[in-house]
Structure 1
């Protein structure tokens, strides 16, 4: 049976201690060997072909990333679909360790996202990303590999990703993405030392988690366009 369930985002954030309103960095663990891939870690996962560049540094174990997706994910998916924006997702994987998650959900979930993109199923990446964020590790435990494959099917992935999930064949790619960006300066002089970090048209977006993020992001994308 699927583990799919609604995430009590506010409760998850309230029960997790973080500095500021973001998941700050910690030393990541070593990743497993990778398989050949068409993806370049530094380039991230690129979706859409619009004139407005949107870059997102994110971790699938970060409750604040889940909150941001809940507030802005539908709009971002629409903008990608109608080529308003070019979205680049840069997966990070340090938050599992920071939260004491021994299942390494950060890497396992990002591995699945990368497998999906590498299989050419780009239309499924954002629905899958939302499912991964909505099913983070919580009091009920961590999603299993079988759960991850169910999330992929729910998102519309048709490729057989079972071997890649079990072997974590994109884990090294995920680690390379994390290590490439960690500490670099992006956007409006913002250091990649926390997630989520969102940059719109070269300007760092101010994530406030006060109910205004969706509206202000719509304004930012409109202004950039």
Structure 2
């Protein structure tokens, strides 16, 4: 596993975790010759940040997946439609970025369903669900994972972490990215100080390595 030595921040998912939760999607099974990776962006849409992401992706004709918070998607429906019309995919990230470990499962499910309703009302397709903070519980795994795709990740950039350096994030992610990797970024104000440096660097790296960036 890879981590920033100052903060013990784990960028690469320990291999044992997917074996504990096999019904969740941690990476894509692809042939190594396909050279496909999957960039994902959580917590948007956020007008300035999401537009920056879309512009950077477009420079490389790269496609990605945006796991959107329902209240943000409702407030910025035009961005949601732009993401979709640009060939990217979107997924549910709950209505209010709810932590599964801090509320009842019923409250959590209602918040998740409220986000589903936003997608339906806006006519935007959802590829599946990503739990905020990556936090799940037994009920969520039992119920949601049996009904739709629940996407986790294999590489966590940590772009939201003010204690990390952009250089460290870039270096550790380069070590961790491999065919089939699902990589998490955040199109949020909190993450932008790192994102504006890390995303262009990793896009350039993936392009140079011949990776094909696809939506989930």
What TM-score does the superposition give when structure 1 sets the normalisation length? 0.33
What TM-score does the superposition give when structure 2 sets the normalisation length? 0.34
